[in-house]
Amino acid sequence: MFKKIIKGLEMTGNFFRDEFNNIRKDSGALLILVGALIIYPIVYAIAYKNEVVRELKTTVVDMDRTNTSHQLVEMLKGAEQIEINRVAMSLDEAKNDFFEGNCAGILVIPESFEKDILNGKQTHVAVFADGSYFLIYRQLLGGAVKTVGTFSAGVEIKKLMMEGKSYDQAVIQRDPLQSDIHFWFNSSSGYGSSMMPGIIIIILQQTLLIGIGMVGGTSKENKQDNFMVPVALKPGGVLPILFGKTLAYLTIYAINCIFTMVWIHSWFNYPSRGSYLSVLMLTLPFLLAIIFMGITLSVLFKRRESSIIFMVFLSPIVIFLSGLSWPSLSIPPVVYSLAHFFPATIMVPAYLRVRSVGVGMADIHTEYLQLIGLMAFYFCTAVVALYVSARRNARKSVG
């Protein structure tokens, strides 16, 4: 029994060395497995570095041109979301600015603005924002509403003070119920801090699956997998092959995970509240599930290009079903359940709760058990896939 274990370990080491050499000699696979894990996270992180959209160019149409309207324009200049592009003479000029791409939105102050305020009448400030671009629309509208609201509060407080109330009394009467808003786990409401940790997980999955498929496709093209046939057809012979291949990819991605999950997080100050032990406990079954899944799928790829086409087709589906671009609660339950065949769909919400919220393993035990189950499932499929592939190659060699 002991000799069989030693023999199995030696065979595992041999297959690990062979797979590692295949990866090392394949420049395309190296570019995906190593280069992409350096390039993609850094490019995305730099693109999202500003976190929130600020200083959107806005054209103001001041039809009133009074001291009161000028005061509102000056307040708008102080809003972090808005940068006054220019004050136009008419709405048609502002429209031209917008359609020529010189501004992201238009704010119109009506002609009777000051007169209505002095007479105690309600007046309106119109905001035209581009609803086809959600982030720009939200920021521009939010900045305009906040500024106009502050201006309106000042007008009401002055009116109450003119009636004989003190400043404090006027403030309380104007706003009897104050809101105290706190943003948990993402204090800046930054888009990068919200998206990048999840995107990193999806990049890990997609590049690993593509890389495994490319190496597997190359082996079939060059008929390098025929040497596995005698070993794989023996009882338990598939296991050293599977363990050797798995160890090769796990070694590479252990380094990749340190780069993406530790260094990128630290460099760009992404939330990092959970313990690294919890991250490690999540990451290990996640990577193993992807590797076993990739080895299973690689049997289907007869050419290296097939894996790239297949995974590029799946990439937008995985991003959508992960819950990053659309809340998972709003995805039909049947579709979201099927999406759990992808390890990243389970990993993303669990990882975000650990890194951003700071929960422990007890709070994500359901996702952790799902990853363990998925890892076991794809382990079985990988064993079957390698055995079936070996038998197919054996029949071809005999024929």
What is the extent of the structural domain holding 17?
2-49+190-398
- What Cα–Cα distance (Å) separates residue 161 from each residue in 123, 172, 174? 21, 12, 11
180 domain residue, yes or no: no
177: three-class secondary structure by DSSP: coil
Residues 257 and 302 in one domain: yes
Beta bridge partners of 128: 106
Rounded average pLDDT over 289-311: 82
Question: 196 with 323, same domain?
Answer: yes
Look at residue 173 and tell me whether its pLDDT is greater than 50.
Answer: yes
Do 219 and 341 have their domain in common? yes
What are the residues whose beta carbons fall under 8 Å from the beta carbon of 319, sequence distance 6 or more?
A: 202, 325
Identify the pLDDT of residue 71: 85
Give me the chain's average pLDDT, please: 82
Residue 399: pLDDT above 60? no
Q: What are phi and psi of 78, to 5 degrees?
A: -85, -10
pLDDT confidence of residue 236: 63
> Given a cut of 80, is residue 325 above it in pLDDT?
no
pLDDT 10s digits, 74-114: 888 888 788 888 888 888 888 888 888 888 888 888 888 88
* Per-residue pLDDT band at 227 (split at 50, 70, 90): very low
Give pLDDT, residue 188: 67
Same domain, 210 and 303: yes
Same domain? 108 vs 208:
no
In whole angstroms, give the CA distance from residue 128 to residue 94: 10
Q: How confident is the model at residue 393 (pLDDT cuts 50, 70, 90)?
A: low
Please give the pLDDT value at position 79.
80
235 shares its domain with 375: yes
**Is residue 185 in some structural domain?**
no
Q: Name the band, by pLDDT with cuts 50, 70 and 90, for residue 372.
A: very high
| Rounded-to-integer distance, Cα 283 and Cα 291, Å | 12
Q: What are phi and psi of 299, to 5 degrees?
A: -65, -25
Question: What is the identity of the amino acid at 21?
Answer: N
- Asked whether residue 183 is assigned to any structural domain, the reply reads no
Q: Indicate whether this model's pTM tops 0.85.
A: no
Residue 139 and residue 156 share a domain:
yes
Question: Is the pLDDT at 394 greater than 90, yes or no?
Answer: no
Side-chain half-sphere exposure of 43, counting CA atoms within 13 A: 7
Place of tokens 């009897």: 176
Q: CA 252, CA 331: separation in Å to the nearest integer?
A: 34
Q: Averaging pLDDT over each range in 2-6, 222-226, 334-338, 341-345, which range is the top one?
A: 341-345
User: For residues 40 and 231, which has the higher predicted lDDT (pLDDT)?
Assistant: 40
Separation of alpha carbons 361 and 374, rounded Å: 18
Residue 19 within any structural domain of the chain: yes
Does residue 159 form part of some domain?
yes
3 state SS of 64: coil
Residues 62 and 150 in one domain: yes
CATH of the domain at 154: 3.40.1710.10
Both 151 and 219 in one domain: the answer is no
316 within some domain:
yes
What is the SS3 assignment for 345-399?
Answer: HHHHHHHHHHHHHCCCHHHHHHHHHHHHHHHHHHHHHHHHHHHHHHHHHHHHHHC
Same domain, 60 and 165: yes
| Whether residue 154 has pLDDT greater than 90 | no
Number of domains, the chain: 2
What proportions of the chain, in percent to the nearest 5, are helix, strand and coil?
70, 5, 25
Maximum average pLDDT range among 214-223, 307-316, 348-357: 348-357
Looking at the predicted structure, is the pLDDT value of residue 358 above 80?
yes
26 with 67, same domain: the answer is: no
- Tell whether the model's pLDDT for residue 47 goes beyond 80: yes
Residue 181 inside a domain? The answer is no
Same domain, 165 and 254: no
